[in-house]
Structure 1
Amino acid sequence: MKRNKSWIPMWSIPCLIMAGGLLAADRLGGGEKLEQWMQTLAGNADFVQAALSSEIGAPGWESVSEHAPPTVSVSEIVAAQALPESMTDGESCDTDASETLVSESLFALPDNVQKAVDTSDAPTQTADGAAVKQLTITGQKGGYPGQDGVYISNDSGLSYDLGEMLASPLKITKNDSVEQPTVMILHTHASEAYVDQHGGRSEDPAHNVVYIGDVLTQVLQQQGIGVVHCREIIDSPSYNKSYSRAMEIIDAQQKQTPSLKVIIDLHRDSMITSSGMEYKVVSEIDGQTCAQLMFVMGTNAGGKTHPNWKSNLNFAANLQKQILADYPTLMRPINLRKQRFNEQATTGSMILECGTSGNTIEEAEVAIRAFGKKLAQQLST
């Protein structure tokens, strides 16, 4: 959704006044002190977050100061991800997903945090030295609408009938031969990585979400499901327009492989506070700590054509129900958004967030193996 450029938010006025003061100080010979002060500001995460919010229209300013109860200690969580300069090119971000320069998912209201499993052996700091804390988010106590254990965080403003969807599941079945692939896996933000990588990003496919896609590919193929896995680092060297490039890849692959039914855009999420604290989302499977997963489902609320978004949501909701039957805390609430995120490609399209930048890649691998087994079951019935 594009903002009206003529509208000026009230909180920007102090910024303009401050800019005038800085210019005056420089003209009066205070250049050295001015530079020192600007360096201090650059290190202040709240100031940087506010500047980012004003530039790209992100909701980060509000997210810093509102929402979370102090008992959970996540009141400063923001959705913004800091991007290295090498991954931006000065272009405007995708008009179809105007907020994705910040993050696919928004942090859910944390009333629903449970006592997390023991992760004492996992890193307590990121590769950049930021502290890591953990959460388990299920939606059970967060006030989300839900049924049969499936909860939805609706940021789209649209209505849907979850009960009807769960009562009448959309059936998608695998193709008879692995030579006719059923599933496509790609990574619009392939450089997204985990806690061991500086900045939570890496272009090395052995250390980012491409590896998690490799694992998912293996699990599905072992269950007799044909898979096409795009391992291209789509968001490098340019992060902007990555969704547009991803759609081009999807279009080309569908022409080459018309048998595709399910398209999974595999990401990892990010929860970073204004003070640099990072949060990991955790569950447990057979005594092993693993990352939580989350579906991000698109709609046509942003003005883009997506007539089948309810069918996409139906498939994801019923898949989530089946996953939760075996792994009760593996899935976070489904995040329903205004943007399409290229999910108009098939009724089996979805974004899947596998953990956050605070999780380990091993935790992400345990989670995606469990997901792959349940997806294979769903496609085989």
Structure 2
Amino acid sequence: MRKKRIKAKLLACVLICMIPTTTFAMGKDDFFRYLIDSSYPEVETEDTNEDKDSASADDKENSEESSDYIKVHVGEENIPSLNTTDDESNASEESILALSNQYKDNVRVTSSSPRMLIYHTHSAETYSNSPSGNYHSEDIKNSVMQVGSLLTTELTNKGWGVIHTTKYHDYPSYNDSYSNSLSTVKSILSQYKSVDIAIDLHRDAVTEVNDKSNASYTTTINGEKVAQFCFVVGMKNENVDKVMKIATDLTNLANEKYPGIAKPVVEKQYGRYNQYVAENGILIEVGCNATSVEEASASVKYIADVLDSYFK
């Protein structure tokens, strides 16, 4: 009798260990799609059902800042990783040295009274040039931070005072990206009261990096192949009407000046993306991991022209 009880207990333990794993494996694709569509707008999926996330509406602010921004990556090529090869590390060091005369403590300020802040919640996002197909790494010269640096220069040349921070917010904890960048934005705004435009610069992501996905995120302007860009709006912002108006106006202006350069505004029903902090909060995605850093960089002068025309 005692032996039977022992066997029963052992069997129960085995079943307890197996059931969660089996359940997760059976439904993981749908589960991933749900999490992605209800969090960060980098990956398009089918069969979206955002209504399931309505319970988060009553969460406390701190809970929203962490849970709303968790991004699940589809496919191994999109798993965040800062494990770089020697070549990647050298490339990173070279790009840091190239910027070292302009940046102090990861910050560049181009005016004593800057009005624009450019930062990167997902600082480690890189483009198709990044070695080994690792699209999240410290490869700065092929990253959104490189694009941000170029945009800073373009806007400065147009007379704007700009702050650009190259601080990593998605490492070591990716899930804390938005709470980390929120702290950075608040800190900078407290030091520079003149800043009223905060731009969170990202790139989008696709699950398959190939010529087809590259073509879907690029266009030709003035005979030059450039990455398309889009504006993202978190619909949970208390100032959502203003955020939406800015994003819509910028999109329309961009396509009026440079037809086809801007994709439609992306609305995320359960996101905030820190767009409520500054008077003018903007989230822009320039290209994707299937576009090259050269294509993303080529669109910078057009983005700067649109921002300059709109805000001046």
- TM-score w.r.t. the length of structure 1 is 0.56
Pairing of 1:302-313 with structure 2 (within 5 A): 306-313=237-244
Of Structure 1 and Structure 2, which has the larger fraction of its residues in helix? 2
Matched, 1:253 2:185: no
Alpha-carbon separation, structure 2, partners of 1:317 and 1:56: 27
Q: Secondary structure of 1:353's match? A: strand
Residue 187 of structure 1 pairs with residue 120 of structure 2: yes
Moved more, 228-237 or 186-195: 228-237
Check 1:334–1:102 CA distance in 2 against 1; reply closer, same or farther (3 A cut): same
CA distance in 1, matches of 2:63, 2:283: 16
User: 1:214 maps to which residue?
Assistant: 149
Q: Which residue of 2 is the match for residue 279 of structure 1?
A: 213
Maintained 8 Å contact 1:53/1:59: no
Structure 1 residues 55 and 335: alpha-carbon distance in aligned structure 2, compared to 1, 3 A threshold: closer
Q: Structure 1 residue aligned with 2:67, among 74, 92, 98?
A: 98
- For 1:189 and 1:371, the matched residues in 2 are separated by 19
Match of 1:359 among 267, 291, 294: 291
Once residues 306 and 63 of structure 2 are traced to their aligned partners in structure 1, the CA distance between those partners, rounded to angstroms, is: 32
Deviation string, structure 1 residues 86-133 (Cα, Å, up to 9, x no partner): xxxxxxx973363533279xxxxxxxxxxxxxxxxxxxxx99xxxxxx
Residues 193, 254 of structure 1: alpha-carbon distance in 2 compared, 3 angstrom cutoff: same
Query: Are 2:247 and 1:316 aligned?
Result: yes
Does residue 290 of structure 1 match 2:187? no
- Does the 8 Å CA contact 2:114/2:161 hold for their aligned counterparts? yes
- Shift of the alpha carbon at 1:57? 4.6
Task: Within 5 Å, give how 1:136-155 maps onto structure 2.
Answer: none
TM alignment of 1:1-381, pairs within 5 A: 19=18, 50-51=27-28, 53-54=30-31, 57-58=34-35, 95-96=64-65, 98=67, 100-102=69-71, 178-197=111-130, 198-272=133-207, 279-280=213-214, 281-300=217-236, 306-338=237-269, 339-380=271-312
* Distance change (3 Å), C-alpha of 1:97 and 1:366: farther
Q: Secondary structure of the residue that 1:342 maps to in structure 2?
A: coil
Tell me if the contact between 2:251 and 2:263 (Cα under 8 Å) persists in the aligned partners: no
Cα deviations by residue, 1:236-278 (Å, 9 ceiling, x for unpaired): 12211110010000111110001111100000001215x9997
Distance 1:231 1:287 in 2: 31
* Structure 2 partner of 1:11: none
Tell me how far 1:200 sits from its aligned partner.
1.3
- 1: CA distance between counterparts of 2:308 and 2:196? 13
Query: In 1, distance between residues paired with 2:26 and 2:144?
Result: 26
AA aligned opposite 2:126: A
C-alpha distance in 2, partners of 1:249/1:308? 20
Contact 2:229-2:287 at 8 Å conserved across structures? yes
Over the matched positions of the two proteins, sequence identity in percent amounts to: 25
Distance 1:296 1:364 in 2: 17
Aligned residues: 240
Paired with 2:212 and 2:137, the residues of 1 have a C-alpha distance of: 18
**Amino acid in structure 2 at the alignment position of 1:279:** S
CA deviation after TM superposition for structure 1 residue 225, in Å: 0.1
Cα deviation, 1:133-166, whole Å, max 9, x if unaligned, reads xxxxxxxxxxxxxxxxxxxxxxxxxxxxxxxxxx
TM-score (norm 2): 0.67
User: Residues 56 and 377 (structure 1 numbering): CA distance in 2 closer, same or farther, change over 3 Å?
Assistant: closer
Aligned counterpart, 1:70: none
Partner residue, 2:40: none
Partners of 1:284 and 1:276 in 2: CA distance: 18
User: Contact 2:32–2:72 at 8 Å: present in 1 too?
Assistant: no
The Cα of 1:279 is off from its aligned counterpart by 1.9
Conserved 8 A contact 1:94-1:243:
no
Which AA in structure 2 matches 1:291? A
Identify the residue that residue 138 of structure 1 maps to in structure 2. Answer: none
CA distance 1:97–1:240, shift in 2 (3 Å): closer
Note the residue ranges of structure 1 that are not aligned, 5 or more in a row: 1-15, 24-46, 68-92, 105-125, 128-176, 301-305
Change (3 A) 1:336 1:266: same
Asked if the contact 1:234/1:245 (under 8 Å) is kept, the reply is yes
Question: SS where residue 344 of structure 1 aligns?
Answer: coil
2: CA distance between counterparts of 1:295 and 1:49? 35
The Cα of 1:346 is off from its aligned counterpart by: 2.1
1:208-233: CA deviations, max 9, x gaps? 10000000000000000000001112
Q: Can you give the 5+ residue segments of structure 2 that lack an aligned partner in the other structure?
A: 1-14, 38-43, 49-61, 79-109
